[in-house]
Amino acid sequence: MNKDRRPQDSQSPIEALRVERTHFSQAEFAVHCGVPLRTYQRWISGETEAKLTPRQWKAMMQVLQISADEIPNDFSSLGS
């Protein structure tokens, strides 16, 4: 498992929040948010649009310690 906390070849706003606000690797963050790692990686690369369940939204907001107003409109670097 990659313990590197730096964004992984991405300028994704959600990836930046992960690095800034947690000590989790991408894999650990994905587990805590209830999403598969590869799905998370597809979100931040812009391959797919993030579609989270309410439970996943809650988990992500708690892990990142953010409010709904602070959630980026797009998770990928392409939407930045």
Q: What is the pTM of this model?
A: 0.81
C-alpha–C-alpha distance, residues 71 and 80, integer Å: 13
The tokens describing 64, both together, are: 């990142």
Residue 42 burial (10 A CB sphere; 0-12, 13-18, 19+): middle
Three-state DSSP class for residue 59: helix
**Is 3.20.20.150 the CATH number for 13-70?**
no
Nearest to 4 by CA among 18, 22, 23, 25: 25
51-73 pLDDT, tens digit per residue, is 999 999 999 999 999 998 998 88
Percent of the chain, pLDDT > 90? 72
| Cβ atoms of 51 and 2 closer than 8 Å | no
Residue 30: is its pLDDT beyond 90? yes
